[in-house]
Structures are given as structure tokens and as C-alpha cells.
Amino acid sequence: MIQDIFPHKFINHYDPSRKAEEGSIILCFSGRKVLISAECFPLLSDLSNVDPEKLIYLFSVDQDKNYFLCTEEPEELPEGFAFEDVKSLRDKDWQHRYRLFVAYTGLQLAEWYRSNRFCGKCGSLTHPDDTERAIRCDSCGRVIYPRIVPAVIVGVLKGDKMLVTKYARGYAHYALVAGFTEIGETLEETVAREVLEETGLTVKNIRYYKSQPWGIVDDLLAGFFCEAVDDEIKMDDTELAVAKWVSREEMVPQPQNDSLTSEMMRMFQEGKVSAKILSEQTVWPSIGDSDNDRNGSDESSGSAITREPFDASYMWQVVNQTRESFKASDDARDAGLTFPENVERMTNIAYGPDDKWQLLDLYWPKYCEESPLPVIISVHGGGWVYGTKETYQYYCTDLAKRGFAVVNFTYRLAPEFQYPSSLEDVNLVCEWVRKNAESFGLDPQNIFGVGDSAGAHLLALHAGFCTNETFAETFPFVKPEGFSWKGIGLNCGVYRIKIDRNDPGRAFGMMQALMPNHGTDEELEMINAEKAVTEHFPPVFLMTADGDFLQQDALDFAAALMKKSVPFSLNFYHGTKGKLGHVFHCDQRLPEAELCNDQECAFFMEQMDHEKIQ
């Protein structure tokens, strides 16, 4: 979509102290037209008659591309530049498509500044605020924020068909039902009302999909899929010229791939969403569902979930205690360790748009002449609520010494980000490895994964996602093209979460943090990794220890692998000086950890395709 500019990063932090320099990029607008040459916006050095002090800082891309707004049309246009309609830029064949997003977002801010030069309350002259992205009137104290208009895009499904529309005027291509949220409405109520008004259809099983900023008209679009109760269309011909059901084969998505509407149409066309998926309560839970629709009907809300009583204070108590105790344990384990001299590293590489959470480090053996290198992707543990790549740096460098390139990454944690965000981040890292293998000397034919505790759970789920089509269909993202796990190592993992609801403990609090509906029975079945196993599951190095409280999980998962004839090696480690605890293999001082990691890497070597990439 238009905002998906990865590997570039959009940075919208407001910094009024930032001043334009010669290399700063200037957005100049004339009405709804932007000054552009080919696909480049002018630099400050291109504009001879512009006063840098009058430029307003807007945002940055990748830290080094700073964009400023010129609030006055330049007296002279630089050579080769002309004003072009921002709307028409969608039809350009962009080499750097993030610039289209820049133009749309820049226009949204330019229109906001232009429309609020005078206070709408007292008529006085306004000015940009000194501390936040706002416009302030000193005369009456009014503060004006950027205009953001909520609207919905609705994919209505019935059986194996989807409802498509064409507007009565304007946009000529097929679209989906859409409309603005009214005063006092929830987004779900907007969905039900708009579909009913435009097509006469009543809907149920309303499921949130994704959102998208659409700056050219100040919109924040929220995409929903839902199921029609019946299929008789009663079209409002003042709004629409066409409203009809189409099959996957008949679907004609919009020509551009930058809109939420087009992506939702393609989701249907490619069989990734259906009325059956909606009705079976997948990982797309309804937003704002309650036990009863607040207007007295359950037809529009589609709530199929029985919620457990949710105590936010208890959940946060569990989360905070977990984070504190796990950190203290990890700090004690790694105290005094230093980065090994025989390993090279690159740090803080972005694999997604979130520059706080979606970062990875890459380690490789310093004196290894082999290229490309087999890859290990490490998925850290931490009860889904704790951990970063820094926590696992010594463990991962220890693996790298054994002849592997090791990817160590941070993923989005609960409860700040709920499932399946963490699994989506695993998938994004796999996509990064596949796309950047040649640039970093990585062997895309030999990609392995290791995960411990909750990380083993996520890795097992992703292995199922990559090999079980039925399981994969329940997710709003897809496997990276050409990606496969050559083998995985599951260390002291949890694979089926069990909760005693009469005696809630840490697991109960973690599930309340992780899952959108706080750990219902239905949700726990959704994340049961044993159910994701098929005969196509990758070979597994499965490990536990004599002091690991998750011993039984390893035995149960081994049984699930055996049932599907999946190759695996079950390894049980005993301590020579007392029992080995949970995730003992991360402790670089333990000889048993060295033995475990040696054997795990040897297992990976046995699975390798040793033919070199030509």
C-alpha cells in the first residue's frame, strides 16, 4: 500500500527547531499540484528566491531525507521542474515509490497549514506551535491539529463471492463499499450502515483487516471484511453505478497496488479471505465486539467470542514482574561477557517500518572463507512479553562461531502489540533474509531457525504457517516468496498453552497480554503449534533438560511430529553439577550449553544442501 515504503522509514516526529539546509528537500504546492521533475522534488539549493527561515519542517525519511514545506509559491521555477497534480502521480512508474507517499502526506499538511492561516473562532492570524504539530492562535488560545477523517473500506463476502461496486461519478474502476464514520458511531457500526445504505444488504461477522492513511483527502481508512446475511442487492443509484457479486476468477482489482481497497480485492482474488474464514473466528477478531450489540442486535457485530473476565491490573502485574525477573536473570547470566573477537557483526538493520521494534543484528564468523553462509534465524524467548536482540547477542555470536551467519532480531512484544504481531515480525525477518541474501553473502537454500521457550512456540507456528496451507489461510500476511525452513531447533519450548482458569498464574496473565480477546479457549486452540504440524513440517532438533519445567511439552510435541512422520531428533540434557534449568543452552559458561549448541548446529549441517549457488 502507499504507506508501505520498506526498507525506507517514515519519521513523522515533529521538530520545529530543525532548519532547512542546502540538501533539504522542499515540497512546493500550487493548489493541489506539487513541484516535481521526473520523480524528484527540488532541493533548497534549486530554489534561489526562497527564504529558508520561512520553511516549515514536515517529516523525514530514513533520517537523512528531511522534507520542508514552502508555504509560498516560488517566483521562479527551477529548470526542469513543473507543477503536477498530486492525484495523477499514482499513474507514474516510480523508481522510488516512497516519494508518492511523501507527496500525499505533504499535500495533507500543506492544505492544513493553508486552511488555518486565520483562526476560525476569532479571525486572528495564527502560527505553527513551537512544541507540537499544531497551529496556535495567540489571541483566543485556540489550538488546531491536523485534520484526520475516519472512513471504512468494506469487503462484503457471501459464499465464494465478493461484492464490488462502481461509483456513480468520479473513479471509473471497480471498488468496494466505502463511507465516512458519522458522529457517535463505532467503526463497526459504520460498516453495517454503509453496506445497508448503499446495497440494502445486512452483514454479520465484521472483522477488522488493516488501516491506511490517505493524505490526499485527509482520510484514515479502516478496512473490514464481513459476511452478508443474504445476497439480494438493492443498490442506491445516487451513490453507485454498479453493485454486483463476483467470483475470484471474475475479480478485477484496481490497476494501482497502493490502496487498501486494491489489496483487499487481491486478498479475495488469491483465496486468502473467505466467508468461511470469517465465520470460523480466525486471527482477525472483531474490534469492539461486546457480549451484545449495543443497539440490541447481534447481526452486525458478528461476535463469536466468549470473553474471559479481563483484569488489566492483574495482567500488567504479571507482565511487569516477568520483565523484571527475566531481565535480572539474564543480566546475571551474561555479566562479564564480551563480544568475541572471531565474530563480525552489523547492528540495527531495519527489517520493517518500526524503528524501535523491527531491527535486527547480523553476525558471521570472522575468518570463514565459505560463501554464501548457511543462516540461522534466532527467535528469542521471554514469555511473549519480554526480550530484545541485545538479550541474545552472546548466545547468537556463539552460534556464529560454528560457521553460520546468525540473524538476531527484536520483535514486537505483548501487550503493547498483540498476536499475531510477533509472528508477523518473524515472517518479515524471513522475508528480509530471502530478499537480501545475495547482498549479505547468505545462502537462501540453507536457512535454519532456533527458538527457545516462547520463541520456540513462535518458530513452530511459523514453520506450520510455511508448510500447512489451511493454517496459513488464517493469517493476514503471506509466506515470503521462495522461503522455506531447512530445519529448526526448538529449545525448551512451549507448544500448547494450557491454563487452569480456577487457579490463574503467570501463563494466564501472559495469555491475557498476548491475545486480542485475552486468552479464550478458541484463541488457545488457534495458537496450538501441535495442530499446525503436517508431513511437510521441516526437520526438528527438539531439546529439553532435567530441570526444565516444560519437559512434557517437548514429549508431547515429539508425539505430534511422530504422528505426521516428520524427521526429528529429541535430546534430553542432564546437568553434571545439578539439574539444568529452563533455556540453559543460552548460558555461555555451561559445558552442557556448549554440547547442546554443538549438537544442534551439527543437526543443521546434516540437513544442508551443500551445492553452491551459482
Kindly give the pairing relationship between strand 405-409 and strand 373-379. parallel
Phi/psi-derived region of residue 376, left when phi > 0, alpha when psi is between -120 and 50, beta in every other case: beta
* 8 Å CB contact between 453 and 492: yes
In this prediction, residue 533 carries a pLDDT of 97
pLDDT tens readout for residues 21-43: 989 999 999 999 999 998 899 99
Where helices occur in 74-232 by DSSP H, the ranges are: 98-115, 187-199
**pLDDT of 609 higher than 50:** yes
- pTM of full prediction above 0.85: no
**Nearest-angstrom CA–CA distance, 431 and 444:** 11
CA dist list (Å): 30 to 85, 98, 114, 128, 324: 9, 21, 11, 20, 55
Q: Determine phi and psi for 34, rounding to 5 degrees.
A: -120, 145
Q: How far apart are CA 543 and CA 533, in angstroms?
A: 17
Least confident of 221-230, 274-283, 385-394, 419-428: 274-283
pLDDT, one tens digit per residue, over 432-482 is 999 999 999 999 999 999 999 999 999 999 999 999 999 998 888 999 999
**pLDDT tens for each residue of 95-124:** 888 899 999 999 999 999 999 999 999 999
Residue 316: its H or E element: helix 312-334
Dihedral Cα 41, 47, 53, 57, nearest 10 deg: 0
- Crossing angle between the packed helical segments 421-440 and 454-467, to the nearest 10 degrees: 70
Q: Determine the 3-state secondary structure of 187 from DSSP.
A: helix
**184 φψ region: left (φ > 0), alpha (ψ -120 to 50), beta (else):** left
Residue 125 main-chain phi, psi, to 5 deg: -65, 140
In terms of DSSP bridges, do strands 568-573 and 540-545 run parallel, antiparallel, or are they unpaired?
A: parallel
Q: To which H or E segment does residue 605 belong?
A: helix 591-607
Cβ(457)–Cβ(423) below 8 Å: no
Per-residue CA distances from 558 to 179, 548, 553, 568, 570 (Å): 51, 16, 8, 8, 7
Which of 206-215, 433-442, 498-507 is predicted most confidently? 433-442
Q: Mean pLDDT score of the chain, rounded to an integer?
A: 88
Rounded Cα distance, 604 and 61, in Å:
39
Inter-helix orientation angle 393-400/591-607, to 10°: 50
